Amino acid sequence: MTDAPAATRQLAEYAATVTADDIPVEVTEAAKLVVLDTVGVAMAAVDFPIGRILTDYAAAMGGAPAARVLGTDLATSPQLAAQINGTLAHGLDYDDHGHLSTHVLPAALAVGESLGSSGADLLTAYVVGRECGYRLSSVIEAKRKQKQGPTYRGWYRVGVVGPVAAAVAASRMLGLDPERTRYAIGIASSSSGGLRRNLGTMTKALHAGNSAAAGVTAAMLAARGFTADAEAIEGPLGLVNAICLPGEAEWVPLARLGAPYELSQKLGVKYFPACSPSHKPLAAMLKLRRDHAIDPARVASIEADLHEFSLRRLDPAEAIATGYSLPYLLAIALVDGRVGPDQVNGDRLHDPVVRQLMAKVVADPDAAPAGAPERVTIRLDDGTVLTAECGCKPDLSEPGEIAAKFDDCAGRRLDLHGVTQLKEAILDLGAVADVRDLTAMTTGTAGSGPC
């Protein structure tokens, strides 16, 4: 790898010294939309199996009621609230593609609640933590397009970079100076970990929760003078050298902190609650369904690139795994004509029509050529061949689209008035005097029905 800069110090000084005025308005406006989406998908997860286990666990653990579990009446310690909310935010794999919000926001929010911080402070901490997480991810993932680097040896980036990004956000909420922020980064670096083997299980989402909790712990310890190595990120035996082989890391992204901000790019909020490589083939399948009257009983085969590196669960055994199974996702899309939380996390695995279609999905290694649209092909029993392509993921980027998704997700926990009140508060986050008022708005009874 190229010579490493003083990366730990660089991250800490940026995080501690950048001001709200330094952040462009378009970045803070984008941040509000992603915060809105993250809160919504966390609330949506509460009533699914992963959410029920998490809330039961939080209730059993107790803890001083300093921070709320989103969408519930439960309050607990900042660390546990961050862990539960981070896991909920990632629990449906419905968050934005980079997954940075799943740990940065819960960490900042938990600390902010414990302090009674303002929405403006939360917004700045979120942007700063996200930016640091994005740049550090770019360092370790520099060779990903060449199928090299820690991801291709089994590390899951959310668990590796997440504790550091969460620690930055939590440190910012605590108002730590560069030195103590550097300690927090060093402490958090020793909590890094996470295995891609767990994709398609509840533990995949726990990587985000663990990262959020580790970040809170690191910042709170650093605030009290707990120390760590000053070069924990870049030094020999430090984080990057531990997980990257020689030549895999690239330090240039750290020179671009805030120049420009990652959030200045077009937003990529998920349209489907499923692992990202499934989104193009799903869009193609839904196009086929719209354009043709397809009787599932007449389908002889469905051909697609199965993306088995990420979509590992070809024959899922539990609902949480269905978002990592292209055979299931393509089958349910053809049967239901949509792929939302109830299709991916509901009890549809034993539907005989879905199971029959899953058995007809076969790998087409030529369906996703590099730089070209991705293809799905359906062959019917009379020899008819139907094909559709998708050139780019059907992400949400417009405010109205993201707000509509929030309405659907938050409507699982709140009535229409509550959804509107919470949405307006998040979209005007800079005016919120105390984030505890914001999290209290996430609590309510179920709305009129599932989204």
Mean of pLDDT over the chain? 95
Q: What is the pLDDT of residue 446?
A: 36
List the domains of the chain with CATH numbers.
7-264 (1.10.4100.10), 276-390 (3.30.1330.120)
Nearest to 9 by CA among 229, 337, 253, 266: 229
Q: Cα angle at 56 between 54 and 60, to 5 degrees?
A: 115
pLDDT above 70 covers a percentage of the chain that reads 98
- Kindly report the length of the chain: 451
* C-alpha to C-alpha distance for 20 and 28, rounded to whole angstroms: 9
pTM of the complete model: 0.95
Asked whether the predicted pLDDT for residue 447 surpasses 50, the reply is no
Strand, coil or helix: what is 50? helix
pLDDT tens digits along 189-238 = 999 999 999 999 999 999 999 999 999 999 999 999 999 999 999 999 99
* C-alpha to C-alpha distance for 344 and 272, rounded to whole angstroms: 9
Q: Cα angle at 78 between 75 and 80, to 5 degrees?
A: 75
pLDDT tens digits along 360-409 = 999 999 999 988 999 999 999 999 999 999 999 999 999 999 999 999 99
What are the φ and ψ backbone dihedral angles of 376, each rounded to 5 degrees?
Answer: -125, 135
pLDDT band for 3, please (50, 70, 90 cuts): low
For every residue of 202-254, which 3-state class applies, written as one string?
A: HHHHHHHHHHHHHHHHHHHHHHCCCCCCCCCCCCCCCHHHHHCCCCCCCCHHH
pLDDT tens digits along 120-129 = 999 999 999 9
How far is the first Cα of the chain from the last one, in angstroms, to the nearest whole number?
A: 48
What are the φ and ψ backbone dihedral angles of 195, each rounded to 5 degrees?
Answer: -115, 130
Nearest to 449 by CA among 421, 407, 420: 407
For every residue of 363-409, which 3-state class applies, written as one string?
A: ECCCCCCCCCCEEEEEEECCCCEEEEEECCCCCECCHHHHHHHHHHH
Q: What is the pLDDT of residue 448?
A: 33
Cis peptide leading into residue 260 (ω within 30°): yes
Which element (helix H / strand E) includes 74? none
Nearest to 124 by CA among 220, 25, 12, 2: 25
